Amino acid sequence: MTQKHHQHEQAVPVKSTKKAAIPLAVAGALAGLLVGYVANKESLFVILLSTAVGAFAGYLFGNNVDRSLQKKK
């Protein structure tokens, strides 16, 4: 005869730690890479600069999104 144990788990609220800054920085970098490549395929400097600017802009936008979501909670 086996004995059954009933365990009751209580739901513990989990704080959301999802950040939008990093994924949006990556998306911004990819968009900047595309823009830099289309604008000037021959200049590596332009491509790298547009990638860096896109990543920075995406990161700033992601931080802004994170802050606005924290204020709503």
pLDDT in tens, 15-35: 555 688 899 999 999 999 999
Radius of gyration for the chain, computed over Cα atoms and rounded to the nearest angstrom: 22
The confidence score (pLDDT) of residue 14 equals: 45
* Segments in the chain below pLDDT 50: 14
Coil, helix or strand at residue 16: coil
Backbone phi and psi for residue 2, each to the nearest 5 degrees, phi listed first: -95, 150
For residue 38, what are the CA distances in angstroms to 17, 25, 44, 46, 50? 36, 20, 12, 10, 11
Q: How far apart are the first and last CA of the chain?
A: 50
Q: What is the pTM of this model?
A: 0.71
The confidence score (pLDDT) of residue 58 equals: 96
